[in-house]
Structure 1
Amino acid sequence: MWKYFEPYKASIVLLISLAIGGVLGVYIPETALKLQPIGKIFLNLLFMIIVPLVSVSVMSSIAGMSDLKKLGKILTVIFFVSIIMALIPAAGVVGLATLFDPAQGVTITLADKFNSGSGEMDFVNMVTTNDFVGLLSKSNILALIIMSVIAGIAIGQSGEQGKNIAESLNGLNIVIMKIVSIIMTGAPIGLGCYFAATMASQDSQLLVTFARAIMMFFAATLIYFVFGSSIYSWLGGGMPAVRAFWKNAVEPSATALGTCSSLGALPVNIRAAKAMGINEEIVDISLPLLVNLNKGGVAMIAALKIVFIFSVLGMDFTAEIFFLTMLISVLSAIIVGGVPGGAFLGEIFIVTTLGLPLEAIPMLVVLGTLTDAPATLINVIHDLPAAQIVERFTKKLNPHESLTVEQNLACSE
């Protein structure tokens, strides 16, 4: 029995610490407020490593894809499919949260002032800086990601010299992730203390808003799992593709929920994709890329986090914020979600990009932790219809071996 809960061990410990912090904040507010410095130390440690983490992780990931550059058509379709399959669920969650406001009139007050949503968004300064030093600030995380992608492409196109740099980046990435793992050992204490201080100064009804937001996400996930999967499979090959998908969807779905790891479910997903009749060459090329790029569940929870935090802070969710939410959701799904340790990076990405207060981070962590399993389910299961779509639009790597879905299924059986 305990083996079943092993993948959730870190999440369970974190949730327990956050729950303890919430109880302290509600019932012993004077003591809880004194714990805030401990939480700030933990968050500052994360902020200190965020720039090298993002830059090195993104550059090494992009540079490592250079050996697939000859398969430009497949890569183009995969990127396009990943973007669309991030935008659709993100927009759906925003629409659902707009209709059923999870805050329901509950707002929180913060000691620190912030400017997000108070004026026009400066997109030029959001995606670029006027000098290199600006990239070294966590306040310019979006610009840092864009430059890291460009640098990764340049490294991948630089031949043998580029390979040497890519290998060095991979080694540096391992060291940085070890630093992150050391820092993250303090996550239960640090976030628990910060959440305690946050709850000490807020209405206890805030806890009810978490429950509403989480239940809404679970409902949205179920609907998207059933209807989204069917529609995507139909686009990939009509009703035969839909039947092939649902015939083989149970095992990867159960694996995703049991492991809470997209990468851990990859072997099962590859086996299911081949059993569905998808061309093996397409499967072997597309699924390892889709597992890193196609994360609709990450996009969904990123959108919910933004709508939720704007609602509880009593801020207007304007058209500009909506488009920025779509951008953040796509980047979270394609880039941030693919970075090791990206769970906490996602919260920091949202807070720094939107100029939100630090108090928002523990609240976003609560949402992210409790919705990790259903988000992983969407990440994993939609790689299968995505591979069907990739196969349809790229045909086959060898057009002389073109088979229908029914013929591929017959061969696999």
Structure 2
Amino acid sequence: MNRSEIWKSYRFPILLVLGILIGSVFGLVAGEKAAIVKPLGDIFLNLMFTIVVPMVLVSISSAVGSMVNMKRLGSILVNLIIVFIGTGAVAAVLVLFAVNLFPPAANTTIAMGAAEVGESAAVGDMIVGALTVSDFPDLLSRKNMLPLIIFSVMFGFCVSACGGDESPVGKMLANLNNIIMKMVNLIMKFAPIGLGAYFANLVGEFGPSLIGDYGRSMILYYPLCLIYVVVFFPLYSYMAGGKEGIRRMLKFVPTPALTAFATQSSMATLPVNLDACDKMGVPKDIREIVLPMGATMHMDGSVLSSIVKIAFLFGVFNQPFAGVGTYAMSIVVAILSAFVLSGAPGGGLVGEMLIVGLFGFPPEAFPLIATLGFLFDPAATCLNASGDAIASMMVARMVEGKQWIHNRLKGNNEKLVENTDITV
């Protein structure tokens, strides 16, 4: 491609990178004074968070409600679960190998060995709380995304049973969905400035003082994320759509990946992900089911970080991190802790409390991995959100067959060229 084509294809990711870099430099130079630009970042995040709940409710209800063929819905959901569990298992095996080869708590100066590890807590109440709420108004909160998704699927199923997209409610949902996506495009015009300001404040407030005893864990985790991106993302994309799948991934995934890295929130990245998957050719019903569910359920980056945190705590408390039982429990806890993340920046605090509780670590363990969580969060969220986009391609491949991407692009080349990037 020549320069003009490169700029046209990657203009928005380039502007995001420039915004983040300028914000980071400003944060390093200004230090704590960089907080002066924090309101700009907060405004952008608040706008994104405000649109997330109605977008999830309307997009899932519309996608499910417009389905005449419930067999297709069942196929999407079954293959979605297969993809989520499969990629999560790959991430878990990779990180288990890494923490045994390079223990994250080796040579730490943190002295916690005297504290006793208690009994593991029951998880029944946590599961109920993660999947349901006790009152309808509680659904209208981004802190309860899984219950909202479950409600939206049920509501969409009932819309489909009562006339589908030809019913008055079905037509209203379709129109609302178009309106909401127009709002997303308006909000995203502010993204380079908002993300730059948000990052400036983070770097200015915490800066280089975050390394210390956690340096070894960061040296393990960030290259591990890079390995996962370089090796497995192209592999998953090739499985989904061959060489064209890889090309689409390289072209359209950088924007949601950068947005997720800067905001540290899969939910804030969801509107951007939906737009990216539209351009990648993922069918509407698939992307509008896979992506919202993936934002709270498909978290390969969080699986990687959770097992590193668990191994770190075992080392700090002088417990042997070994054995099939320990590894199996770590995988289960990592996936479960990823399940209950709220989608907000730093939302991993809930998952970290779950890790401490389920393994029976004392309360002193929580601030240790909470700090690790903050250090890992940008890369973890970047993997989570970009992995959702790739997962949607894999589900499309499993639902529509090997030639899905070529069949989709064949009749829509003009539309895809016109929508190559978000207008800013």
The structural deviation recorded for 1:382 is 0.8
Q: Which residue of 2 aligns with 1:235?
A: 239
Residue of 94, 97, 103 corresponding to 2:96: 94
- Count of residues in Structure 1 that have an aligned counterpart in Structure 2: 295
- What are the within-5 Å matches in structure 2 for residues 268-347 of structure 1? 268-319=272-323, 320-336=325-341, 342-347=347-352
RMSD between superposed Cα atoms in Å: 3.7
Q: Which amino acid aligns with 1:407?
A: K
Q: Which residue of 1 aligns with 2:136?
A: 167
Matched, 1:145 2:126: yes
Residue of 263, 267, 273 corresponding to 2:271: 267
The structural deviation recorded for 1:108 is 2.9
Contact preservation (8 Å) 2:104, 2:308: no
Q: CA, structure 1 residues 307+81, in 2 after alignment: closer, same or farther (shift >3 Å)?
A: same
Q: CA, structure 1 residues 307+405, in 2 after alignment: closer, same or farther (shift >3 Å)?
A: farther
Q: Which amino acid aligns with 1:88?
A: V
Q: Which amino acid aligns with 2:357?
A: T
Q: CA, structure 1 residues 91+209, in 2 after alignment: closer, same or farther (shift >3 Å)?
A: farther
Q: CA, structure 1 residues 227+172, in 2 after alignment: closer, same or farther (shift >3 Å)?
A: closer
Runs of 5+ in structure 2 lacking a partner?
A: 1-18, 33-55, 145-210, 418-424
Residue of 108, 111, 124 corresponding to 1:108: 111
Give the secondary structure class of the aligned counterpart of 1:265: helix
The structural deviation recorded for 1:230 is 0.5
Matched, 1:410 2:413: yes
Residue of 215, 220, 227 corresponding to 1:216: 220
Once residues 66 and 383 of structure 1 are traced to their aligned partners in structure 2, the CA distance between those partners, rounded to angstroms, is 19
Q: CA, structure 1 residues 304+405, in 2 after alignment: closer, same or farther (shift >3 Å)?
A: farther
Q: CA, structure 1 residues 336+248, in 2 after alignment: closer, same or farther (shift >3 Å)?
A: closer
Once residues 140 and 274 of structure 2 are traced to their aligned partners in structure 1, the CA distance between those partners, rounded to angstroms, is 28
The structural deviation recorded for 1:210 is 1.1
Normalising by the residue count of structure 1, what TM-score does the alignment of the two structures yield? 0.62
Once residues 91 and 260 of structure 1 are traced to their aligned partners in structure 2, the CA distance between those partners, rounded to angstroms, is 24
Give the secondary structure class of the aligned counterpart of 1:357: coil
Once the two structures are superposed, residues 190-226 of structure 1 have per-residue CA deviations (whole angstroms, 9 ceiling, x without a partner) of: xxxxxxxxxxxxxxxxx75410111210101111112
Once residues 125 and 283 of structure 2 are traced to their aligned partners in structure 1, the CA distance between those partners, rounded to angstroms, is 37
Q: Which amino acid aligns with 1:74?
A: I
The structural deviation recorded for 1:342 is 3.6
Contact preservation (8 Å) 1:298, 1:337: no
Q: Which residue of 2 aligns with 1:82?
A: 84
Give the secondary structure class of the aligned counterpart of 1:318: coil
- What are the within-5 Å matches in structure 2 for residues 6-25 of structure 1? none
Q: CA, structure 1 residues 66+335, in 2 after alignment: closer, same or farther (shift >3 Å)?
A: farther
Give the secondary structure class of the aligned counterpart of 1:104: coil
Q: CA, structure 1 residues 299+115, in 2 after alignment: closer, same or farther (shift >3 Å)?
A: same
Once residues 299 and 281 of structure 1 are traced to their aligned partners in structure 2, the CA distance between those partners, rounded to angstroms, is 27
Q: Which residue of 2 aligns with 1:258?
A: 262
Once residues 170 and 321 of structure 1 are traced to their aligned partners in structure 2, the CA distance between those partners, rounded to angstroms, is 35
Matched, 1:351 2:356: yes
Contact preservation (8 Å) 2:241, 2:405: no
Contact preservation (8 Å) 1:269, 1:384: yes
Contact preservation (8 Å) 2:333, 2:355: yes
The structural deviation recorded for 1:91 is 2.3
The structural deviation recorded for 1:148 is 4.5
Q: Which residue of 2 aligns with 1:248?
A: 252
The structural deviation recorded for 1:267 is 1.9
Once residues 102 and 290 of structure 1 are traced to their aligned partners in structure 2, the CA distance between those partners, rounded to angstroms, is 28
Once the two structures are superposed, residues 165-186 of structure 1 have per-residue CA deviations (whole angstroms, 9 ceiling, x without a partner) of: 65154379979xxxxxxxxxxx
Q: Which residue of 1 aligns with 2:391?
A: 386
Q: Percent identity?
A: 26
Runs of 5+ in structure 1 lacking a partner?
A: 14-60, 117-125, 127-138, 156-164, 176-206
The structural deviation recorded for 1:105 is 4.3
